[in-house]
Structure 1
Amino acid sequence: MKHETTYLRGARSFVAGRFETLAREPFDDGWTPEESDAAELQTSVTEERARSIISRNDSPDIGFSQSINPYRGCEHGCIYCVHGDTPVLMADCSVRRIADIHPGDLIYGTAREGWYRRYVKSRVLAHWSVIKPAYRIALEDGTELIAGPDHRFLTERGWKFVTGTEQGQARRPHLTTGNKMMGVGAFAHAPVKSEDYRLGYLCGVIRGDGHLASHRFRRGNGAIGTLHQFRLALCDVEALLRVQDYLREWRIDTQHFVFQQAAAGRRLLHAIRTQRKPSVDEIHALIAWPMVASREWSAGFLAGIYDAEGSYSEGCLRISNTDHEIIAWIDRCLKSFDFRFVVEHVPRETSKPIDVVRLTGGLREHLR
């Protein structure tokens, strides 16, 4: 089967850059058939309403910081490349292989502000692949990266290429043993969604934002009846469907409905519910506090309570609740994973006081 490759402008030619240490020339050994490119890219010109004609850069291999450039984009393949399996941090804090990223996706990058670099959300403008020699970089924490020789990494001493020498024509800043990579470090492994994890998740999300109760009422004929109710309403439909799937594993069926229509100042809320007594009784049993919380249950509980009561904005991850018992369990579970956090008590005049659990340690801790 022929493998179709889409070539960008300069990626196929491999024009030697001024930092290249190797010279290459084509040689026909008779093994490669002459085939025309099936997927040539055409240049497109689009009107760009730019705010400024001045382009700025902070690249160490460019001898100026500003230039006049009326164009957006370029006609050559970038020399910076990594292996397709390299994980990339997305703007929603999920992780995706670089090979699976597409133009338009939002990822985390860095921006320089004075003497500091801060994490910022950046939009992917282009994506392509090349075939070229690569190097394996092994880090102290066991992480291994595969990158081209001209790829640059941000270290404690600035940007450095993968390869280089201390003298001669190939001299340039390059990685050496002992350099410290700047960033969030190795990404945490996703927890195994075992039965204990799913029970912890149900406990966190239902105790955090669910309604689970039985009410006695008087019927029209004077008889006393009991109404059993379970309802969970969330803005996050993905989390709501996850709860519905987990409950089905214990043979608990729920109905999905719109709890609140979107309006001025109000978000659309979806919900699930059941009024069957056996189902309500089973949910009560499922979300009971454990005698001993396993790591899997604790991870699930933290995920569930975050989906119900958590928020992430302006670089702060918080979980809020008015129930002291829930706050105590959040405290216990976070400590079991050595998270750094603070609990802030917020008094309120017109409603119950609320406790806010806030993670400290920046993005590195948030990604765990």
Structure 2
Amino acid sequence: MRWEGQKITDDDVEGASVAEPALVPLAGLVRTVRTPEFAGITFHEVAAKSVLNKVPPTSSMPFSWTINPFRGCSHACVYCFARKTHSYLNLDTGLDFDAQLVVKINAADVLVRELSRPSWKRDHVALGTNTDPYQRAEGRYSLMPGIISALADSGTPFSILTKGTLLARDIPLLKAASESVNVGMGISLALLDPVLADSIEPGTPAPKARLALVSRLREAGLPCGVMAMPILPWLTDGDESLDQLFGALASAGATGVTAGPLHLRPGSREWFMQWLAAQHPHLVPRYESLYRGGSYASKEYRDWLSGRIRVFRAKHGLMAGAGFFRNLSAAGPADSGGSSASGPRPTPSAADSARAVQPSLF
């Protein structure tokens, strides 16, 4: 099955070229666009009927609703767990996820209608839980200001998790929103090495730029937790790497940190292992052994990494948990390890294991 009549024409965008037709029908498709400013990326603009997504009641997430203005993400993080969702559109979870982006161009207008319903109970809404709302496409479509305003005007608390420094554009709006509703801010940053970052998350702002964004949010009086995930086996899980990461996050003013393991779920596993074979082939057998049980690293390794995380978080005076969901009263899952520099490490000490864990978003 293929989309019919959706090829790009020069009438759509100045300098546009004809695109390959997309692979499946897409409800509400308005047009398909390429533009020179986003070389290699195809935008499939849709008129969405709904933007509020109900979280399944069986989920362990501490929120009931999410919003994802985009499907697919040009951040192109090799390890992204959301890659599998592109297969639902009959698109591949590799290059298509990075470059075939679905854009809900009417997201703000639809959200206003949904939030005005008498049945809406103003539950917390989380953004950035699947694909990043501040990926580069937001610079073209400017969906987030309308979404933020709709949530704040309706009295709905919300949180945003992002790697995108474009969020800085909306700091004044977020600060104003925080005066009427709880606003939680989280930055995703799990490594500092710019060379590794450019290889494994090539479409994201550099680590230094994200550290600077943490500081800007804190200077604006907004909370800013950090999601330091994923920690990568044999690449970023050593004591030196963790010490530098947590030290930099503390210096930037992070209000808390959740750190944890690389998960290799179907859809992302294949893409990540292909990258690993090309960039670090000597690690392939180790990863295959470490993840032989499925999507998660061995329990022995997770326990080891959890202990190291607690040590360096305590050293730098950081709270456990990103903490950008302010109303969360029950502690989330404990941080768990996902990688090892030389196989499973020693079990954390009893003192480390006894450290109190602060509430966290995830």
Larger radius of gyration: 1
| TM-score category of the 2 structures, normalised to the smaller one | under 0.3
TM, length-normalised to structure 2: 0.25
Report which structure shows greater RCO (CA 8 Å, sep ≥6).
2
More helix by share: 2
Return the structure number with greater strand share.
1
